[in-house]
Amino acid sequence: MFQFLGDLFNLFLYKPLFNSLVLFYNIIPGHDFGIAIIFLTLAIKFILYPLSVVAFKSQKVLQDLQPKVKEIQEKFKDDKEKLAKATLELYKNEKINPFSGLFLAFIQLPILIALYNVFWQGLKPEQLNNLYTFINNPVNINPFFLGFIDLSKPNLYFAIIAGILQFYQTKMVSSSNKVSNKNDMAQAMQTQMLYVFPVITIIILMSLPSALGLYWIISSIFSIVQQYYILKNNSKVK
C-alpha cells in the first residue's frame, strides 16, 4: 500500500516538479538555479490561483460572519444540534464552504513535501535519470543563485525573510477583519496564527535547503499581492 502511494507521489508530483525545474534551469540564460526556482514557484501559484482565490474569499466571508456566528452560539448555547444546524444554514445561505481553506492547504502540503524532495535529492546526479525523454539532461546542476548564494544549504536570512512575509500575509487578513470580542476563541486563534506561524516558519527553514526558503519567499510575495487586490476589489464593491 505504501509502495503504491509512493509510486503515485513520484509519478504525479515529484517527477513533474523535478522535470519542470530542470526545464526552467535549461532555458534560463546562465542556468541560474534560483531563477529556475522562481519560475517554478510562479507556475505552481498560477495553477493553484483559482483555488486560492476561492479559499481566501471564503476565509474573508467567514471572518465577516463572526458576529452572526456569535449570535447563533449565544442563541443555541444549550442545544448543540440546533447550533450546528443553524451554523450550517448560515454558511449555506452565504454560499460559502468553511472547509475551502483546508482543501487548499491539503493540496499544497504534498506539493511542499515534493519540493522538499526535489531540492534535497534533485541535485544528485543520479536523480537526473528521472528526466522525461524530451528534457535535456544538464549533466550537472549548479545550486547557486545570483552566483553566490548556495541554495543546497540552509540560509538564515532567507528563513527570516520568509517568516516576516508570513507575518505580513497573516496580518493583512486579520487587520481587515475586526472581531468584536477580543477575548473570544476566534480572536485568540487569529493572534496565535499571526505570531506563532512566522516563528515556526523560521525554525523549519533554518534547517532546510535555502531553495525551499526561496520558494516560500516568492510564494508569500505572490499571495500578498493576490490578497491585496482581492481586498482592494472587495472594498470597492462595498
User: Which residues on adjacent β-strands are paired with residue 144?
Assistant: 150
User: Which residues on adjacent β-strands are paired with residue 145?
Assistant: 149
CA dist list (Å): 2 to 101, 107, 108, 182:
27, 19, 20, 45
Give the pLDDT score at 162.
94
Per residue in 45-81, pLDDT (tens digit) is 999 888 887 777 777 777 777 777 778 778 777 777 7
Q: Residue 121: what are its φ and ψ, rounded to 5°?
A: -105, -25
Average pLDDT over residues 33-42: 95
Q: Could you give the CA distance from residue 194 to residue 160 in angstroms, rounded to a whole number?
A: 15
Burial track 193-208 (b if 16+ CB lie within 10 A, e otherwise) = bbeeebeebbeebbeb
Per residue in 116-145, pLDDT (tens digit) is 888 887 778 888 888 998 999 988 888 999
Band of the pLDDT at 170, cuts 50, 70, 90? confident
Average pLDDT over residues 99-103: 67
Give the pLDDT score at 179.
47
Give the pLDDT score at 140.
85
3-state secondary structure 123-186: CCHHHHHHCCCCCCCCCCCCCEECCCEECCCCCHHHHHHHHHHHHHHHHHHHHCCCCCCCCCHH
Give the pLDDT score at 177.
52
Give the pLDDT score at 101.
63
